[in-house]
Amino acid sequence: MPRPRILSGMRPTGALHLGNLMGALDNWVRLQDQYDCFFTIVDWHSLTTDYADPGPIRENILEVACDWLAAGLDPSRSTLFIQSLVPEHAELHLLLSMIVPVPWLERVPSYKEQQHQLSEKDLSTYGFLGYPLLQTADIIIYKADAVPVGEDQAPHIELSREIVRRFNNFFGPVFPEPQTLLTEAKRIPGTDGRKMSKSYGNAVYMKDGPEIMRQKIKPMLTDPARKRRTDPGDPDKCPVFDLHRAFSSAQSQAWAAEGCRTAGIGCLDCKARLIEHMLARLQDVHARRPEFAERPDTVWDILLEGSRKARAVAQVTMDEVRAAMKISYPRP
């Protein structure tokens, strides 16, 4: 029996950080055992917000792909591809745009939120409004059974389901409704205590080696109550402890919590133990990454092969879609 199919994607923002690893990638690696996985680098999506200054998308794609492969995404089990190399996504996006009422897109929570958060950019564009529609096309063109997402993305999948129902209602049952595969949210703070994010400049990257990691973690913000070594602290108020929760053994977490509350350890001791665990967790990633980073042609070959496989699936779906929408005729 074929395994259920899932699809998920990441924008080509460049090297991935530990928030990306623990919030999504780690889960994707595990999902490969159970699902027929399609993972895509969504380059068109990055243009929905960064059209005025797209940055080095080509180089960023390579960085993301190296991190994916170093983390353990396996091209012999999963289809790894670039969105824009499967132009059928754009065709399906266009066809869906014929049937989706504009208010459905305007009411997606992230539409107003991101316009507010990114107020320095003009996001009153057609492409930005249509971003969840393009995302729907990305998913349903592969007839994905489910989409692994965090809670913040769940409304987008709900919208995808509504769009599928509307499409199937007009044109017949072409698409299954994709389900949400909720990824448990782990809080991964950056070095300043805010959510880890490239744009905040507080990120620790997957490829950061021991020296860079020490340089970033040592000055990291801690519980402000611990002004002196002798002041007891509260691990629940400390972002370093959030990282212990994500990376350290239960034994080290208990050691850090007890030592913090009793002022039995200093923050530098606590951070040194954390760094050991982080480096142990990243050992395989660090061992594998140079194999790919030093052979960019091999990485591109993997992405091109994945894009070919993905395109073959997307083309079959588009034949069905065109037939259902009565625009199926001989093609030049």
Sites of contact with ligand SF4 (CB under 6 A):
222-223, 226, 233, 235, 238, 240-241, 256, 260, 265, 267, 270-271
The Cβ of residue 53 has, within 10 Å, a number of other Cβ atoms equal to 6
Residue 266 CB, shortest distance to ligand SF4, in Å, is 7
Residue 148 CB, shortest distance to ligand SF4, in Å, is 31
Tell me 325's DSSP state.
T
Residue 232 CB, shortest distance to ligand SF4, in Å, is 9
Residue 204 CB, shortest distance to ligand SF4, in Å, is 15
Cβ(64)–Cβ(113) below 8 Å:
no
Which CB atom, from 157 or from 267, has the smaller least distance to ligand SF4?
Answer: 267
Place of tokens 């027929």: 36
Cβ(150)–Cβ(187) below 8 Å:
no
Which CB atom, from 194 or from 295, has the smaller least distance to ligand SF4?
Answer: 194
Which CB atom, from 127 or from 193, has the smaller least distance to ligand SF4?
Answer: 193
- In terms of phi and psi (left: phi > 0; alpha: psi -120 to 50; beta: otherwise), the region of 179 is beta
> What are the residues facing 328 on neighbouring strands?
none
Which CB atom, from 107 or from 261, has the smaller least distance to ligand SF4?
Answer: 261
Cβ(69)–Cβ(40) below 8 Å:
no
Q: For residue 101, which amino acid is it?
A: P
Residue 207 CB, shortest distance to ligand SF4, in Å, is 24
Interacting residues of 125 by C-beta distance below 8 A, sequence separation 6+: 48, 51
Q: For the chain, what is the total number of helices (H) and then of strands (E)?
A: 16, 5
Which CB atom, from 14 or from 259, has the smaller least distance to ligand SF4?
Answer: 259
Residue 215 CB, shortest distance to ligand SF4, in Å, is 16
Which CB atom, from 272 or from 313, has the smaller least distance to ligand SF4?
Answer: 272
